Amino acid sequence: MAGRFEGKQALVLGVANKRSIAWAIARRLADEGAQVAFTYQGERIEKNVRDLAETVSSPLVTECDVRSDDDVARVFSEVAEAFGGGLDVLVHSVAFAAAEDLEGRFTDTPRDRFWLAVDISAYSLVACARAAEPLMEARGGGSIVTMTYLGGERAVPHYNVMGVAKATLDASVRYLAWDLGSKNIRVNAISAGPVRTLAARSIAGFTTMEELFEQRAPLHRQIDAEDCAAAGAYLLSEDARNVSGTTLYVDAGYHAMGM
C-alpha cells in the first residue's frame, strides 16, 4: 500500500532534538512518503535539526523565531520556492514560557512574560496559518496540526501561564478551522499527556505529573512521542478529511476522569 503522504509537501516547526514531538511526527510523515521541510529556532539547536533533517532527505532547513513577522514571511517564501508554490501539511509544535513562570503562582505572572507565552505558544499558529493559506489553496487544500495540553482547560498546578496560552491556542484552532474551511484547509489539535522532552523539563514537578497521570489515567500507562506521531499522521492525512476544529486527546484517557 502506498504511504498516505506520497507526493505531499510538509513544513514542521518545533524540532529541537530527537525527543521533540515534532520530530516524531516529521519522521512519520517522511516514512509515509512526504517531503518535509523544517525550521529551527536559534543557532544552538541548528546542528541537531540539520542532522535529523538529513536523515529524511529534507529539501529545506531554515531558521524561524515565531515572534518575528519577518522570519515567518521569509520561511513561507522559502517553502514556496522549495515546493513549487504549494504546501499540503503544516505541523506547529512550538511553545515557550519563562521557567520562573512555571514554578511559582500564576497570579504573579508579569505582563511582559504573560504576552511572551501567548505570543510564542498561540499567536504563532495564527501567523503561520495565515502564511500557509495561499500555499495550501494552491494545492486545493491542506491540513494543520498543533500541540496542546489539558492545562488549557483545567488548572494544572505549575502549568500556569502556559495553560492560559494553550486556552488561547485551542480557541484559535476553532476560529482558524472556520475561516480556512472554505478553502478545504483543516485545523486540529492534539492534546498530549506528559512526554519527556526539552520543553517538559522546564515545568516544575513534571515527575509528579507523570506519576499522578499513570495512577489516574484509565489505561495506567505513559504515552510517548510515537503516540503523538500516529495521531498527527491521522489528522494530517486524507483519513481525517472531514475532521476539523477538534482536539484529539492522546493521554491514555486521562482527560475523561474527574479525579
Contact criterion met (CB below 8 Å) for 112 and 67: no
Minimum distance of ligand NAD from residue 144's CB (angstroms):
14
Footprint on residues 195-234 left by ligand NAD (CB under 6 A): 195, 197-200
Determine if 135 is a binding residue for ligand NAD (CB under 6 A). Answer: no
Q: Which is nearer to ligand NAD, 73 or 198 (CB)?
A: 198
Determine if 194 is a binding residue for ligand NAD (CB under 6 A). Answer: yes
Determine if 147 is a binding residue for ligand NAD (CB under 6 A). Answer: yes
Q: Which is nearer to ligand NAD, 137 or 224 (CB)?
A: 224
Determine if 116 is a binding residue for ligand NAD (CB under 6 A). Answer: no
Q: How many residues bind ligand NAD (CB under 6 A)?
A: 26
How distant, in Å, are the alpha carbons of 38, 50, 81, 199, 256 from that of 14? 8, 13, 21, 10, 28
CA distance 125 to 228: 18
Footprint on residues 49-88 left by ligand NAD (CB under 6 A): 64-67
Phi, psi of 33 (to 5 degrees): 110, -5
Options 80-88, 126-134, 145-153, 232-240: segment touching ligand NAD (CB under 6 A): 145-153
Minimum distance of ligand NAD from residue 148's CB (angstroms):
6
> For residue 132, what is its C-alpha cell?
500557509
Minimum distance of ligand NAD from residue 101's CB (angstroms):
14
CA distance 199 to 203: 8
Q: Which is nearer to ligand NAD, 16 or 161 (CB)?
A: 16
**Enzyme catalytic residues:** 149, 159
Residue from 9, 35, 41, 188 binding ligand NAD (CB under 6 A): 41
Radius of gyration of the chain (CA): 17
Determine if 15 is a binding residue for ligand NAD (CB under 6 A). Answer: yes
Contact criterion met (CB below 8 Å) for 144 and 124: no
CA distance 170 to 166: 6
Minimum distance of ligand NAD from residue 253's CB (angstroms):
15
Residue from 5, 14, 117, 160 binding ligand NAD (CB under 6 A): 14
Q: Which is nearer to ligand NAD, 177 or 189 (CB)?
A: 189
Q: Which residues bind ligand NAD (CB under 6 A)?
A: 14-16, 20-22, 41, 64-67, 93-96, 120, 147-149, 192, 194-195, 197-200
